[in-house]
Amino acid sequence: MSTPVRTPVAAAQVLLAGLIDYAGLFPPASLEMTPCVSKYAHYLGSPERWALGRFVLPVARLDEFLNAQENAATDPWKLSGIVSANIIDDLAAVDEFNRKSPGAVIDTVELRVGDAEEIELAALHLPAGTTAFFEIAPEGAAELLTVVRRVKGYAKLRTGGVVENAFPAIERIEEFLSACAQLDVAFKATAGLHHPLRCVRPLTYEVNAQEGMMHGFLNLFTAAAIVWESAHAGHAIRRGAVATCLADEERTNWHFDENGLTWTGDDEPLRISIEGLRSMRSEFALSFGSCSFEEPLTELRELDLL
Provide the pLDDT for residue 179: 94
> Is 238 buried (19+), middle (13-18) or exposed (0-12) by CB count in 10 A?
middle
What gap in Å lies between CA 43 and CA 8, rounded to an integer? 17
Task: Centre a 10 Å sphere on the Cβ of residue 287 and count the other Cβ atoms it contains.
Answer: 23
Provide the pLDDT for residue 73: 54
What gap in Å lies between CA 145 and CA 109, rounded to an integer? 17
Provide the pLDDT for residue 2: 46
Does the CA dihedral 171-173-179-184 come out positive or negative? negative
Task: Centre a 10 Å sphere on the Cβ of residue 103 and count the other Cβ atoms it contains.
Answer: 14
DSSP H helical ranges for 116-191: 116-125, 141-150, 170-183
> 53-67 burial, b for 16+ CB within 10 Å, e for fewer?
bbbbbbbeebebbbe
Cis peptide before 127 (omega within 30 of 0): no
Provide the pLDDT for residue 71: 58
30: left (phi over 0), alpha (psi -120 to 50) or beta: left
- SS3 of residue 157 by DSSP: strand
Provide the pLDDT for residue 133: 98
Q: How many CA atoms lie within 13 A of 255 on its CB side?
A: 11
What tens-digit pLDDT sequence spans the chain (306 residues)? 445 556 678 999 999 999 999 999 999 999 999 999 999 999 999 999 999 999 999 999 999 999 998 755 567 899 999 999 999 999 999 999 999 988 899 999 999 999 999 999 999 999 999 999 999 988 878 889 999 999 999 999 999 999 999 999 999 999 999 999 999 999 999 999 999 999 999 999 998 889 999 999 999 999 999 999 988 877 777 878 999 999 999 999 999 999 999 999 998 899 999 999 999 999 999 999 999 999 999 999 999 988
**Domains parsed from the chain with CATH numbers:** 10-302 (3.20.20)
pTM of this prediction? 0.94
Go through the chain and tell me how many residues it has: 306
Rounded to 10 degrees, the C-alpha dihedral 217/244/242/11 comes to 50
Provide the pLDDT for residue 1: 45
Provide the pLDDT for residue 238: 80
Rounded to 10 degrees, the C-alpha dihedral 212/160/23/47 comes to 70
Provide the pLDDT for residue 216: 98
> In this structure, what DSSP letter does residue 304 have?
T
Which residue type is seen at 49?
R
